Amino acid sequence: MVELYKKLRALVPRTNRSLMLAPIVGVVAGLGAIAFNLLCLLITHVSLEWFAGYHQGGPANEAEYSDVFGAGLGHTDLTPWLLLIVPIVGGLISGALVYKFAPEAEGHGTDAAIDAYHNKGGVVRGRVPIVKMVSSAITLGTGGSGGREGPIAQIGAGFGSFLATKLKLPDSDRRVLMTAGLGAGIGAIFHAPLAGAIFAAEVLYRDPDFEAEALIPAFISTSIAYCVFCLVFGFQPLFEVKAIPFNQPLLLLPLTVLAVVMVMMSWVYIRCFYGITGLFKRLPVPKILKPAIGAGATGLFAVGLYYALRSSVTPDLEKESLSVLSFGYGFLQHILEDPTKMTILLLLAVGLGKLLTTSLTIGSGGSGGVFGPSMVIGGALGAVVGLLFNKWTPGLVPPELVPMFTILGMASFFAATACTPVSTLIMVSEMTASYTLLLPSMWVCALAYLLNRRQTIYREQVANRLESAAHRGDFIIDVLQGLSVSDALHDAARDFVNVPLGMPLSDMAHLIPMTRQASFPVIDNEGRYYGLFGLNDIRQFLYEADAGSLAVAQDLAMPGVEPLTLQMDLSSAISRFVFESYEELPVVDAESPEKVLGLLRRQDLLATYNARLLEEQS
């Protein structure tokens, strides 16, 4: 495979090489999403449905256990107290897996992928995706509150990183393939291919910045991953929602209130999440036990909420309060179908309770994502806002428009929480097939992002490309914009020695100690530039007596080394140094390219950069 890639690479421009591998990443990400989904279905069926009797349901168009595996282990009645035990057992197993084999798999995996992109050259340890997949399926399948985007993001990103490492690609290609894998996994498992690709390019930064070079590879890998996944689980949107028209501009007023409420709740979510995370870090118990403690607290809260609300809701709604456990997508589907059947008390209890249980589960070291819970929180609290406006202004917000507030609550809450307005509005639209709501989605997501752009659930995000360690070279180029080689070529660089074509090695050996050069331009009999050699080129002849006695400068010179010109901008000069192995490059005038005027050193470029940077700062 490596040899085949090398042959293909010679035919493909350097900037397009990651496109060759994006389809492979997409196939593996799609298969990983299938494996993870099946594992979640299996563990959920055994632990929650059969053992504890809790059937949480799911999105209308998502396959259930019986659709894939058959009849299963049979139906049992709900036994609430068992929901205190099952999450603890899951937390113990998950904690043992994570802290024994891959400690970086704890928590929500998207942050780990973002950190790998910015600070680790896109490197993800090979075992991390496997450990993350199994531990997350156990955490979520036994009742821990979380989502699926974190695990599947690490599965896709991990394979992209693994493939690039095996093929010995540069860090830039590894980062692109890692990003493409991240988007492919998310786009597949949420039935949202376009949003998955854009999310991967957008989630890396807090400011409105994108990883543009990863976008096209992410489109390719996500398209393929989505097709692979949906060949098994169907091509329908995840949630079933009736078409909702938007034909009343005055609705933007209550939707503005919705966006403000979602921003405030995102503040609560982020502070609660990291407050509980910090509390568990300070807890004086072994790390391996902390996920079990968090899961136990999650189960205790869910059972307590169930008994507290049991007398306040109708029999068909009494189990809905348990949606603070596991995924909670079944409750979200019920809200989208008809939120008017829900009570405001129940919606508030599940929305705020999901916020707490997610913080307990993941903040304690359990494995899971934060996107899924954000959809449930935003949907439930958005429905509350919609029901209140329906009560206060029934003419503007009739009952049939309340589901709009649920959908836009999902979008605006996560847009504020993750600083990803573009991908979030597209993802919610794809998940619910609510494309008629694109305009109000744009409105609420833009407002939510602008009001909360400094707060984010992803701590590893950086502000923009200039603050990313992966793009420090780009920043240097920006600083040097407007400067040319002549600005960096000081007088000392013009004092150099040329070497004639016919100079023997013995003369060169005496010449080199008399100069401070690391590279030597070779000129022909008419003084025209011929090529360049460096100190490393001459070493091979110094230790071969026979060859050394016959060697001349022409034998050492590399005629393909193109000189810099005085008029060339310094950003282009930097690129030339990247691709050449010499510490100094000859400089000529564009009007007289045959005559060498000086030698430009890497150090000269750095000195010019530092001087320009100080000038800009002052």
pLDDT tens digit string along 76-114? 788 999 999 999 999 999 999 988 888 877 767 788 888
pLDDT of residue 429 exceeding 90, the answer is: yes
Domain boundary among 456, 472, 488: 472
Q: Spell out the residues 6+ positions from residue 249 whose beta carbon is closer than 8 angstroms to its own.
A: none
Q: Which residue, 258, 254, 245, 256, is CA-closest to 434?
A: 245
CA 296 to chain centre: 30
In this prediction, residue 535 carries a pLDDT of 80
In this prediction, residue 578 carries a pLDDT of 65
Residues 59, 163 within the same domain: yes
In this prediction, residue 83 carries a pLDDT of 94
Residues 466, 494 within the same domain: no
Give the integer Cα–Cα distance in Å for 301 and 307: 10
In this prediction, residue 479 carries a pLDDT of 60
Q: What is the pLDDT of residues 39-83, one digit of tens each?
A: 999 999 999 999 999 998 889 888 888 888 887 776 678 899 999
Residues 453, 566 within the same domain: no
Tally of domains within the chain: 2
Query: In one letter, which amino acid is 545?
Result: A
Which CATH number fits the domain that encloses residue 48?
1.10.3080.10
Residues 221, 312 within the same domain: yes
Q: Spell out the residues 6+ positions from residue 222 whose beta carbon is closer than 8 angstroms to its own.
A: 26, 180, 183, 184, 187, 188, 193, 194, 196, 197, 200
Residues 443, 498 within the same domain: no
**Three-class DSSP labels, 496-542:** CCCEECCCEHHHHHHHHHHCCCCEEEEECCCCCEEEEEEHHHHHHHH
In this prediction, residue 491 carries a pLDDT of 62
Give the integer Cα–Cα distance in Å for 107 and 88: 16
In this prediction, residue 15 carries a pLDDT of 47
User: What's this model's pTM, rounded to 2 decimal places?
Assistant: 0.78
In this prediction, residue 224 carries a pLDDT of 96
Q: What are phi and psi of 552, to 5 degrees?
A: -130, 175
Neighbour order of strands in the sheet with 529-534: 499-500, 519-523, 529-534
Name the helix (H) or strand (E) containing 577. helix 570-579
Tell me the average pLDDT of the chain: 87
Per the CB < 8 A criterion, the answer to whether 427 and 237 are in contact is no
Residues 501, 432 within the same domain: no
In this prediction, residue 548 carries a pLDDT of 54
Least confident interval from 10-14, 37-41, 263-267, 326-330: 10-14
In this prediction, residue 464 carries a pLDDT of 82
Residues 234, 265 within the same domain: yes
pLDDT of residue 560 exceeding 90, the answer is: no
Mean pLDDT of 485-504: 81
Q: What are phi and psi of 592, to 5 degrees?
A: -135, 70
pLDDT of residue 547 exceeding 70, the answer is: no
> pLDDT grade, residue 191 (50/70/90)?
very high
Q: Spell out the residues 6+ positions from residue 592 whose beta carbon is closer than 8 angstroms to its own.
A: none
Q: Which residue, 171, 230, 221, 233, is CA-closest to 196?
A: 221
Q: Which domain holds residue 531?
A: 480-617
In this prediction, residue 604 carries a pLDDT of 82
Q: Which of the two residues, 227 and 593, has the higher pLDDT score? A: 227
Give the integer Cα–Cα distance in Å for 153 and 165: 18
Mean pLDDT of 164-180: 86
> pLDDT grade, residue 395 (50/70/90)?
very high
pLDDT of residue 610 exceeding 80, the answer is: no
Scanning 393-517, the segments in alpha helix (DSSP H) are 402-418, 421-432, 438-451, 472-479, 485-488, 505-511
To which residue do tokens 């568990």 refer? 280
Residues 197, 333 within the same domain: yes
Residues 198, 300 within the same domain: yes
Name the helix (H) or strand (E) containing 596. strand 592-601
In this prediction, residue 414 carries a pLDDT of 95
Residue-wise DSSP of 43-94: HHIIIIIIIS-------TTS--HHHHH-STT------TTHHHHHHHHHHHHH
Query: In one letter, which amino acid is 462?
Result: V
In this prediction, residue 112 carries a pLDDT of 84
pLDDT of residue 473 exceeding 70, the answer is: no
Using DSSP bridges, classify how beta strands 564-565 and 529-534 pair: parallel, antiparallel or unpaired: unpaired
Q: Which of the two residues, 455 and 10, has the higher pLDDT score? A: 455
pLDDT of residue 462 exceeding 70, the answer is: yes
In this prediction, residue 480 carries a pLDDT of 64
Residues 175, 225 within the same domain: yes
Residues 459, 559 within the same domain: no
Query: In one letter, which amino acid is 187?
Result: G
Mean pLDDT of 179-196: 93
In this prediction, residue 2 carries a pLDDT of 47
> pLDDT grade, residue 545 (50/70/90)?
low
Residues 287, 405 within the same domain: yes
pLDDT of residue 16 exceeding 70, the answer is: no
> pLDDT grade, residue 549 (50/70/90)?
low
Per the CB < 8 A criterion, the answer to whether 368 and 113 are in contact is no
Q: Which residue, 98, 106, 110, 103, is CA-closest to 459?
A: 110
> pLDDT grade, residue 327 (50/70/90)?
very high
pLDDT of residue 358 exceeding 50, the answer is: yes
Bridge partners, 203 (sequence order):
none
Please, what is the Cα angle at 347 between 296 and 410, to 5 degrees? Answer: 95
Q: What is the pLDDT of residues 367-391, one digit of tens each?
A: 888 999 999 999 999 999 999 999 9
The three-class DSSP label of residue 594 is: strand
Domain boundary among 472, 507, 539: 472
% of residues, the chain, pLDDT over 70: 92
In this prediction, residue 315 carries a pLDDT of 79
